[in-house]
Amino acid sequence: MNEKEKKDGGRISKRVPGECREPPPEKQPPSPLYVTIKPIKMNKFILLFIVNILLHSYSFGQTKELPLKLEIKLVNEYKKTFDSKVIKRMYPYDYFVTSGDSAIQKYYDIEIIISNDSPDTVYIWMMSCSWIDNFMINNDYMFLDSMDCDSNYLKSYGINPHDKKILTTTLRKDIKFDYPGNAIYGSGVTTTRLGLLVINDIVQKKVDSENYDLGMNDKSKWNIVWSNPLFLQTFKPKFIPIGNDK
């Protein structure tokens, strides 16, 4: 093998006189528009967590701010006296202390005002008698008094544009609040606010009992409109002499 063959790597090349060979093509850098990404192995629990967060964010974003305003006004407050036998029937399993054979319970008559701030008529589904089921309270010592009724059915309450609907009911303070015995009851929240549970699409007038029942039992479907606060806790829990209404 001569020197020329060695330079060619041991290969014998036949060259044609006057022939020009093209240089080998240069390697081009990868286009910035095409980037190869290697697949990333992800723990299935992490993946499920991320999907759950995304779904939660999506559902939260779908919650609409309702054009409703809720206001409560105190109309009247009064007290009722119950003897010990009645109290035992009211609270058969609860322990509290009275200073005699009777106790005083406080009541507050209120107005609930639902205002429609939109240019369209809105509808709120509630029961004809037990409409208080569509309201929640922010503390554990106030309750809405139920009312007697012969016919209780699902009803669509319509509110005209820039108009309001007024409901009346009574708040009852738990008797244990004023006669707590050795326990401090209900002292955590000093205000009373109501929350209106809107289950339906407010533009839908026709009621649907099945969807209403499902919505009332599914908190994720609740749209809550909160009211202004009432300051009904005027004193700390303590013993009250029977017959003293001050």
Q: The sheet that has 194-198: what strands, in order across it?
A: 135-137, 194-198, 223-226
Q: What is the pLDDT of residues 63-121, one digit of tens each?
A: 468 999 999 999 999 998 888 777 777 666 665 666 677 888 899 999 999 999 999 99
Stated pTM of the model: 0.65
Pairwise CA distance, residues 167 & 68, whole Å:
15
Exposure class string for 11-25: b at 16+ Cβ within 10 A, else e: eeeeeeeeeeeeeee
* Predicted local confidence at residue 148, as pLDDT: 83
Reported as a pLDDT band with limits 50, 70 and 90, residue 41 is: low
